[in-house]
Structure 1
Amino acid sequence: MKLILLLVAAASFLPAYGEIAAAEVKVSEATQACIECHTLIHPGIVASWQKSRHAQMTPGEALAVKGLGLKVSSKEVPPALKETAVGCAECHTLRPEAHADTFEHNGFEIHIVVSPGDCRTCHAQEAEQYTRNIMSHAYRNLADNKVFNDLEHTILGGIERKGGKITLQPAHAATKAEACYYCHGTVLKVTGTETRNTEMAGELLFPTIAGWPNQGVGRVNLDGT
């Protein structure tokens, strides 16, 4: 019983999920609005972000780092992004006109999928280097290669027996996305919208994205990157 009371007492001193772990780093009003809801819906995601470098340093501070510790390779960062932590809004509201999945959400124009085109705002050198890396072309390297296509067809294709013969049918898109293209990347495409009934805000409209979620290195994003 004493141990339980001690644990409860200790827990009372821990920061709530809605609080920023690095309290000294300013958070934008837009990101704070995101956190207030999503800390209840996705507490794990918020907690993970709070422990990240993005939450604990502003781009302005990062630009001042010298030597191998420098993580921001862009020569300059937009003033609106310089003085606050890199939070939800800083990435998911960036360049809304470039993303096919941009939609209105709680008064903001946001997109679900953050792409290298967004990351290059602060990480220009890394984004440019990655475009020249063979891994950034991993989707096409698989999808446009006949030898790989035959291998993929053999491994993932559905087996059918017709007229005394066994044939291989093309693999279902979902099977491919969970197999080879899980790492190689999928082609994302907005196929429509869906209405979801949320506990906190009632009915909300969201884009439906084929090929998502996917973290493949050659994923073809909704802004073309």
Structure 2
Amino acid sequence: MKAKAAVWSCALVLAAAGAAQAAEDSARPKTLSEESKTCLTCHKDINQGMYQQWGANKHYGANVGCYECHKAEKGDKDAMEHNGLTISVIVSPKDCARCHAKEVEEFEGSHHSKAGQIMGSLDNTLAEVVEGNKGMKTQAFPNGVSAAAVNGCWQCHGNVVQVLPGGKLDPATWPNSGIGRINPDGSEGSCAACHSRHNFSAAQARNPENCGKCHMGPDHPQIEIYNESKHGIAFYANKDKMNLNSAKWIVGEDYSAAPTCATCHMSATKDMPTNHNVGLRIKWNNRPAISKETHTVDAGWGLESAKITGDERRANMKKVCISCHNVNFTDNFFVQYEELMKLYHEKFAKPGIALYDAATKVLKAVKGKEYVQFGQAIDFTWYEIWHHEGRRARHGAAMMAPDYTHWHGTYEVAKHWAAKYIPELKEVIEMGKASANKEAVTAAEELEQLLTETLESDNHKWMLGKEDQADKAERAKRAEEFKAKYAK
């Protein structure tokens, strides 16, 4: 029965794909439009790279040219007159939806589409104030904007594209292919963030490096983690077997050598179609100090996908896993992953947040109006513990990269907790107690009590020399056995 159900499910997926393909075929232009031919008279010479890229992709074969993508209406905010045609420089998801409606609808319902709304986050505050200044002045930003935000945050997350008179785009906001770019037509996102213009290659989007433009670095090193993992090792050893140019690219059918980011997060399986909402197979969002179930985060953004629970998303991901692994392997992996999350949350994140909030209360009472976040070392210490090291530990476990889980993750968390965070908390306590402000003294005493309770807990009493003696003796015995082996 299971075999029959699998065949029937696969048939439904292929039938739906066939129907969509038939609809797409019927909508294709029969010939290249006169407007696009006009564009090419110049651009094939002055933009040879673009011309060659377009000529090598499926748009060319489908008679979809420059004008079909760049055409605009005279009333459009970013419309401009160009050699007798009304066009827009930006091709937004709304434009792509003329032909790719399903893909755009899925993307617009994803967390990716909201990435441009980072502007009020703590990360952007760092780029604007701590790292930057208002030295970059443009027509759209006469009072200045931070070049650190423009060249850093906005290029991955996106930004609000500002249109100047005549349809030109402000240099602070363009060029930009951030995944959550907010376009002049009101749409969110950039299809070119993954499908680089003007080739728009599906094969390129399926390569892990494509995601690595943004998903890398100290706070979310997914590409580095992938490269270290068994999945990444298998991919680079067998790239010639990946069939990346396949039209349907179903794991276990068109390829089986290795998965890429796309395989796990959005590409087709034998019983699931491709979906451009990359969060529908992710149960946990590891961005916050304490992980949240992804559907609850989607609810905060008002996304329809909030209706799809974390357990449903986990079930979707397991369908991908069992394309290559057995059920026992898959189930056990998720146990390991969530136990690592639990360790990080209980030992560091939850007490760390409570201690930081209590320390901040002391600092605000002592400094008054002079208090600013990131104005003291403890702000950076706690931020890096959860935002960098805690994330690395969780992401590493989620993607089976042990070195990132341990040495770049939990080790860094523990080192900075013991060697920096606890000593800095003690300094804040002393600062508060020495203050003439009674509110600061009271807050410092509360922080001291909380720190004492934290250090006396089973997770941290080792720092006070109070580790369980039986555990300590067992570890000492193993240490002696280890030394004896190396002494031979």
The TM-score bracket by the shorter chain reads 0.5 to 0.7
Q: Distance in 1 between matches of 2:33 and 2:94?
A: 22
Residue number in structure 2 paired with 1:7: none
- The answer to whether the aligner puts 1:36 opposite 2:41 as a matched pair is yes
Aligned-pair Cα RMSD in Å: 2.3
C-alpha distance in structure 1 between counterparts of 2:158 and 2:168, whole Å: 18
Deviation per residue, 1:140-171 (Å, 9 max, x gap): 1x1122x2233334663249xxxxxxxxxx98
Q: 1:122 aligns with which of 90, 94, 99?
A: 99
Give TM-score scaled by structure 2 length: 0.29
Q: Which residue of 2 aligns with 1:200?
A: none
Q: Is 1:224 aligned to 2:202, yes or no?
A: no
Give the TM-score of the pair, scaled to structure 1: 0.60
Are residue 90 (structure 1) and residue 63 (structure 2) matched? no
Checking the alignment, whether the CA contact within 8 Å between 2:128 and 2:145 is kept in structure 1 is: no
Unaligned runs of 5+ in 2: 1-29, 135-142, 188-488
Conserved 8 A contact 1:96-1:110? yes
What SS does the aligned partner of 2:127 have?
A: helix
Q: CA deviation at 1:208?
A: 2.5
Q: After TM superposition, list the pairs within 5 Å mapping 1:1-225 onto structure 2.
A: 26-57=31-62, 85-93=63-71, 95-97=72-74, 99-140=76-117, 142-145=118-121, 147-153=122-128, 156-158=131-133, 172-193=145-166, 207-210=167-170, 211-225=173-187
Q: Percent identity?
A: 35
CA distance in 2, matches of 1:54, 1:41: 20
Per-residue deviation at 1:176?
Answer: 1.7
Q: After TM superposition, give the deviation of residue 132 of structure 1 in Å.
A: 1.2
User: Aligned-pair distance for 1:56?
Assistant: 1.2
* Higher percent of residues as helix: 2
* Alignment match, 2:447: none
Contact 2:74/2:86, CA 8 A, preserved across alignment = no
State how far apart, in whole Å, the 2-side matches of 1:46 and 1:133 are: 32
Cα gap change, 1:223 to 1:157, in 2 (>3 Å) = same
Paired amino acid for 1:44: G
Please state which structure has a larger fraction of its residues in strand: 1
Q: Greater CA radius of gyration, 1 or 2?
A: 2
Please report how far the alpha carbon of residue 173 of structure 1 lies from its aligned counterpart in structure 2 after TM superposition: 4.0
| CA–CA separation in structure 1 for the residues paired with 2:40 and 2:146 | 34
> Could you tell me whether the CA contact under 8 Å between 1:98 and 1:223 is conserved in 2?
no
CA distance in 2, matches of 1:155, 1:182: 19
Aligned AA (1:104): E
Relative contact order higher in (CA < 8 Å, ≥ 6 apart): 1
Specify the alignment match of 1:67 in structure 2. Answer: none
Gaps of at least 5 residues in structure 1 are 1-24, 58-84, 160-169, 194-206
Aligned partner of residue 179 in structure 1, secondary structure: helix
Q: Give, as a single letter, the amino acid of the residue that structure 1 aligns with 2:76.
A: H
Amino acid at match of 1:179: G
- What is the deviation of 1:139? 1.1
